[in-house]
Chain A
Amino acid sequence: MKELSLHILDITQNSIRAQAKLVRLVIIESLANNELTIIIEDDGCGIPADRLQNITDPFVTTRTTRRVGLGLSLFKAAAEACGGFFEISSTPGVGTKVVGTFMRDHIDRAPLGNMADTILTMVMSFGETDLNYEHDYNNQLFVFNTREIKEILDVESLNEPDILNWIREFVQEGLEEIMEENIYGKVLSRTKSDS
């Protein structure tokens, strides 16, 4: 995958297959700790313990259309290639949690990529499933919650061009905002120490 956001898109599709009602996506970027963490948590059907053991084995899959399952394997490999780690935990009937941590400045770390288009694609593919996305960039927080938007609009699905366009810009601008403030903050502190 060229972008970490594509791994995210891929893994959330597992949640949809697991009939999750809510998918929680948390991205934490910390420049101070040189860390980028991605957490995807759902309330889907879960994975039995015996399957969980070899879930990241690319030759293990429950699908019948092909004999390999690469999604989690690729995400694990990406994290481990960047001095990070991968973790999966699941309780049948309760849900599944996937965590990938990366050394943020590792030379092999793929860029996070286009989160606005990723969220847009997720919303289009989620149907009635809700997404709660929290992005923490150096303690600046952006939150996007589809349940809230559905309540405001009084609709069950957000798969409408007008709504999708709004979501795309909302995410784009929201992320720019938390990242901008950070750069601004840095400039300020530098000026302070210079004087």
Chain B
Amino acid sequence: MAKSLAELKAIRDKKLNEINLRHGKNGYRVVVGMATCGIAAGARPVMVKLMEEVDSKGLVDVTVAQTGCIGSCRLEPIVEVYDANNDKVTYVHVTPEKVTRIVEEHLAQGKVVDEYTMTVVDGKVIDPTVKG
């Protein structure tokens, strides 16, 4: 096997401190809709891209996880970003390309990418941030 378990041990020694940091309560929690609708619409490449971008930007206080069907299947892939106060911003029709900007602007600098959010739904204009 080319990838060795020894390599894994090196990761453990190097990253132990960071791992503890990530579970602090100050960062963003990002969840991707991962029900049948989300997966069929392309949630997997979005999830993978989120991991890659969070890694390359070195954002140690961001966690990426999954959620079930959010109830708006036609807007999938859906990505929800929760901040430390549990306020939520919902991004819709997300693609790996959009992920790059969401990570760069929202997760790294705290600026919501308005044009990717669910600001206009069925003709109704809503605030992109939903209070937790």
Contact = CB atoms under 8 A, between A and B. Distances in A.
Contact of B64 (A16, A124, A154, A165): A124
A74 B18 CA distance: 41
Contact of B44 (A6, A65, A149): A6
A169 B5 CA distance: 12
Interface in B45-67: 45, 47-48, 51-52, 54-55, 63-66
A5 B14 CA distance: 33
B73 A66 contact: yes
A18 B71 CA distance: 19
Given A117-B44, A120-B51, A163 B36 contact: no
Given A118-B44, A124-B51, A166-B8, A177 B19 contact: no
Interface residues of A, number: 40
Interface of B: 1-3, 5, 7-9, 11-12, 14-15, 18-19, 22, 32, 34-37, 39-40, 43-45, 47-48, 51-52, 54-55, 63-66, 68-71, 73
Interface string A1-43: 1000010011001001100000000000000000000000000
Nearest to A165: B55
For the complex of A and B, the 6 pairs showing the least CB-CB separation, nearest first, are A125-B66, A161-B55, A65-B71, A170-B3, A71-B36, A65-B69
Nearest to B32: A125
A124 B47 contact: yes
Interface in A115-133: 117-118, 120-121, 124-125, 127
Summarize A's interface: helix, strand, loop or mixed. Answer: helix
Given A65-B69, A66-B71, A173-B2, 12 more contacts: A6-B40, A10-B35, A10-B36, A13-B34, A66-B37, A118-B44, A121-B66, A124-B47, A124-B65, A152-B8, A153-B11, A159-B63
A89 B14 CA distance: 44
Contact of A120 (B14, B39, B48): B48
Given A65-B68, A66-B73, A166-B7, A161 B12 contact: no
A9 to B, nearest CB: 6
B51 A161 contact: yes
A160 to B, nearest CB: 6
Contacts of B2: 173, 177
